[in-house]
Every structure is written in C-alpha cells, then in structure tokens.
Amino acid sequence: MESVWMKSSEIGKRDMLPGDMAAPVVIIGAGLAGILTAYYLKQEGIRAVVFEADRIGSGQTRNTTAKITSQHNLIYSRLIQTFGSRMAAHYAEANEAAIGEYERLVREKGIDCGFVRCPAYLYSNVGTALLRQEAEAAASLGIRASFETACELPFPVAGVTMFARQARFHPLKFLAKMAEEVEVYEQTKVLKVEDGKVETARGTVTAEHVVFASHYPFINVPGYYFARMYQARSYVVAFKGAARPEGMYLGIDGDGLSFRSCGDLLLLGGGSHRTGVHPTDKAGTGCRYDMLRNRAQDMYSGCSEVCQWSAQDCMTLDGLPYIGRFSRRRPNWYVATGFGKWGMTSSMVSARILTALITERNCQEADIFSPDRRFTARAAKELAVHGAYTVKGLAKHFLPAGKGRVIKNCPHMGCRLEWNPAEESYDCPCHGSRFDGEGRLIDGPAQTDCKRREKRAKE
Ligand code: FES
C-alpha cells in the first residue's frame, strides 16, 4: 500500500555507519523532525549525525496527508481554558511560525514540492457552537480565523471554522531536498543508548547530545512515554475524477472526514481508531477503506481509486506533542514525539525548539510542548482509559495464544496482539506496535519481531 507521495518521489540512498565515531549530536530517526533538527543545528555550526534504521522518510512522513496547519482540530479554546492565554499563544505562534518557515525554506532552496498556501477548515454537520468558539479562541491568539457558513464540500454543513494562509505540499520531495544537506546513515538501527554512548549494529558513537526523533521512543525508562502515549491508525484513499477543493477540510463530528487535493487527485481520509482495537461489525476496521470508497462514490459518483494507505500516529494524554528534554534524569537527551495527526507543523516546531535547547538559546514557546508540563484533568482521564487498555492487553497475555506460528504476545511489554484484518497485521492495543502476518516488526515501540514456534519436521 504505497502512498501517493511514495509513488511520485525518490530519495537517494545513503551509506550505513562505517564504524565507531564521535559527534556532538546524534539524532535517531530520519523523518521530517530528525532531518530538520539536523539541518538547523548545522546552520548553527554544530555537526549532527542522523541514524535511520531503514531509509530516509520510511516512517510516518510518507504516510501523512501533508497538511501544514496551525489548525489542529478543536484545540485553542481548550488550551486557553487549561493552560491560559499566554501558553496557548505559544502553541499558536510556534505552529504559525512553522508554516512560514516551510515557505521560507521552499523559496530559498527552490524546492519543487508543490508548496501552496490555502485555507484550512473544520466543518460540522450538526452544530455551530464549537466552531464559533474555536474561531474566536484562535483569533484571540493572533491566528487569522473566522466562522463561516459557505464552503466547497459536496454536502450541506452547519458551518465551518476557517484558518487563512495554511499550506499543503509533497512531504517526501521536500524531505529529499533537505536531507541532501544533512549527514545521514541509513540501515543503521540504534540498539541501545546509555548516557553519551549510542550503540548501533554498525558501531558505537559517542555524543554530547542525543535526540529521539523516531516516532515512538523505544526506551521505556526513564521518560516512561509508554505510560503516557498510545497510537492511532487512520486511512486515506486517493481518487481521480472527484472535485478538488482549494481548501483543506476536517470534520469534527464522530464520522468526520478529511479532504485535500493533490494535483488532479482528491485525498479522502478518515476511519481513525486506536491501534489494536478493531470493531468486528461490518462498518468496522475491516471495511475502513470500503467506508471511504462508499463515501466517495456517494459524493463524487464515478470517481476512480488511485491508491490507498494508512497512517500511524502517536497520541498523548493531553493531545499536545512532547518536545523537549527526554527526562530530568537525562538532561542531554531530547525527544520529539506525540504529534497526533499534526506531524508536519510539529516536526518543524520540534526542530526549532530542540535546536534552541541544544544551543542553549531562549525559546519562549517551548513551555507548552515540554514533556514536563503540568498534568491536566484531561490527561488524568485519558490516563485511566490508556491504563485500562494496557491492563486488559497484559491480562490477555496469560490466555492461550492460539496454535499459529506467530506467538501473539508483544515483545515490547507482553500485551496480547490483535489481528487487523484490513491490513493483515498483528497490532498491539497497549502502545501500538505492529507486526506483519509472519510476526516481523512493522512499527515500534517494540524493537524485535514476535517469537515464533518452530515448524515441526514431517515424520
Ligand atoms: Fe507495548 Fe505492545 S507496544 S506491549
């Protein structure tokens, strides 16, 4: 299942790490967050080496819908209520600045990645109160936002919240160009990090600073990210022959969809659910691509499918990313994770904040993103839900694991894996690791394949 981005770009191969070395900064993960952080550090005269277990952009960067927005569903009203206007403004400013920074880089380097400014909309079919509230909250923080009633969608809506001057682009074309300026070693999986030593299968690197930008941190302690983050899957189908809106749209109702155009295609997204939790009814996970196909035919009769793909997102307890110091116990480790469904702007925000921290420059926006920020009531509620899934998954570990070749217990912390029929994978409901039908690792935080039963020789 290749995304439209994978089908239309190529990123040059890089060498593996040649052996032991020393570097001021090691960055783990060559997605947008890792590559941009290395780029900005280089601008500051600091050498940063990036280690990638697979290929540049082979993680979540290739599976996005590539909307570059400060509009992150309904968030600003909640942020003002929970953290106050000053910190909420930091979130808005950091994300608005991220859009501008993408534009600056694209222009300065002449990157041919289809970057275009366009409005982003939230829509609802059922009511306008939340949309009006969000528009007012965002506008009060300096975002050009307004409530409107007209939009380009092919069905009636109660209203929309419009954010002006957001953007869309081709993420892999952008990443390929930026990676050219960065020292990256591919096929170099990090096995262990201990203080200033980063151990890979290809050699050990001594570093003053270590950045974890590999989606879900694979180290459990310190940091305890496994206890405060889960993963969610969502689905995208690209169609030809459908109307292509100029703006980007996201529904805030339970069955809301995501719309954006890409050349002559419409990208229709939706069907989000916690990884490893698969409803078994006909409208459930097994049919989420079908749900998108059916909705597309209802709206744009006769359109034809070009490709389909899915995304895996890290979700935090309070809905904000964790960007900053990894843990108080490791002051020279840094983390960029928990981007939710907003990986484009969050990657840029991460790069700016982590560069400021490593170069010891002031960055006032860092407070709202800090992994150490205040624990909120919403986070407490989500922690209880997350804990319940984990307890259930761990309890199932002790039930019979079936007779198949793959032993369906997650190598991360032991939760029972669930079969995902839509994607023919074993998914973990606890923290979201995924494995193919043979038990081979697809997504972490697990670091190894599932255990397998040996085939019995025929007698
Ligand atoms: Fe943590 Fe499976 S991902 S137990």
> In whole angstroms, what is the distance from residue 197 CA to residue 38 CA?
18
pLDDT digits (tens, 9 = 90+) for 40-99: 999 999 999 999 999 999 998 999 999 999 999 999 999 999 999 999 999 999 999 999
**Long-range CB contacts for residues 337-340, cutoff 8 Å, separation at least 24:** 337/212, 337/213, 337/215, 337/216, 337/217, 337/225, 337/229, 338/225, 338/229, 338/314, 339/33, 339/313, 339/314, 340/72, 340/313, 340/314, 340/315, 340/316
Q: What is the pLDDT of residue 400?
A: 77
Tell whether ligand 1 has an atom less than 6 A from the beta carbon of residue 314. Answer: no
What is the pLDDT confidence band of residue 283, given thresholds at 50, 70 and 90?
very low
> Distance from the CA of 393 to the center of ligand 1, in angstroms?
9
pLDDT digits (tens, 9 = 90+) for 291-349: 999 999 999 999 999 999 999 999 999 999 999 999 999 999 999 999 999 999 999 99
Tally of CA atoms within 13 A in the half-sphere of 125 that contains its CB: 10
Q: What is the pLDDT of residue 455?
A: 67
pLDDT digits (tens, 9 = 90+) for 224-247: 999 999 999 999 999 999 999 999
pLDDT digits (tens, 9 = 90+) for 128-178: 999 999 999 999 999 999 999 999 999 999 999 999 999 999 999 999 999
Q: What is the pLDDT of residue 36?
A: 98
Scanning the structure block, which residue is given the tokens 């996005």?
Answer: 64
pLDDT digits (tens, 9 = 90+) for 363-375: 999 999 999 999 9
Tell whether ligand 1 has an atom less than 6 A from the beta carbon of residue 411. Answer: no
Tell whether ligand 1 has an atom less than 6 A from the beta carbon of residue 386. Answer: no
Scanning the structure block, which residue is given the tokens 């380009």?
Answer: 152
Q: What is the pLDDT of residue 195?
A: 81
Q: What is the pLDDT of residue 281?
A: 44
Instruction: Give me the amino acid identity at 73.
Output: N
Cβ proximity of 426 and 411 under 8 Å: no
Residue % of the chain over a pLDDT of 90: 88
Which atom of ligand 1 lies closest to the CA of 415? 4
What is the pLDDT confidence band of residue 456, given thresholds at 50, 70 and 90?
low
Scanning the structure block, which residue is given the tokens 């509009």?
Answer: 71
Largest separation between any pair of C-alpha atoms in the chain: 76
- Exposure string (b/e) for 13-36, b if CB count within 10 Å is 16 or more? ebebbeeeeebebbbbbbbbbbbb
What is the pLDDT confidence band of residue 1, given thresholds at 50, 70 and 90?
confident
Tell whether ligand 1 has an atom less than 6 A from the beta carbon of residue 433. Answer: yes
Quick one: how far is CA 119 from the chain centroid?
Answer: 21
Which atom of ligand 1 lies closest to the CA of 445? 3
Q: What is the pLDDT of residue 459?
A: 39
Contacts of 290 (CB under 8 A, 6+ apart): none
Scanning the structure block, which residue is given the tokens 């990208």?
Answer: 267
Q: What is the pLDDT of residue 405?
A: 86
Which atom of ligand 1 lies closest to the CA of 429? 2
> Distance from the CA of 230 to the center of ligand 1, in angstroms?
9
Tell whether ligand 1 has an atom less than 6 A from the beta carbon of residue 413. Answer: yes
Q: What is the pLDDT of residue 280?
A: 54
> Distance from the CA of 440 to the center of ligand 1, in angstroms?
14
Res 284 pLDDT > 50: no
Of 271 and 457, the structure prediction assigns the larger pLDDT to 271
Residue % of the chain over a pLDDT of 70: 97
Residue with the smallest CA separation from ligand 1 atom 4 is 413
Tell whether ligand 1 has an atom less than 6 A from the beta carbon of residue 446. Answer: yes
What is the pLDDT confidence band of residue 422, given thresholds at 50, 70 and 90?
confident
Which atom of ligand 1 lies closest to the CA of 433? 3
What is the pLDDT confidence band of residue 285, given thresholds at 50, 70 and 90?
very low
Q: What is the pLDDT of residue 402?
A: 74
Contacts of 51 (CB under 8 A, 6+ apart): 17, 26, 27, 28, 29, 30, 184, 185, 188, 189, 190, 198, 200, 205
Tell whether ligand 1 has an atom less than 6 A from the beta carbon of residue 113. Answer: no
Of 388 and 402, the structure prediction assigns the larger pLDDT to 388
Q: What is the pLDDT of residue 73?
A: 97
Tell whether ligand 1 has an atom less than 6 A from the beta carbon of residue 450. Answer: no
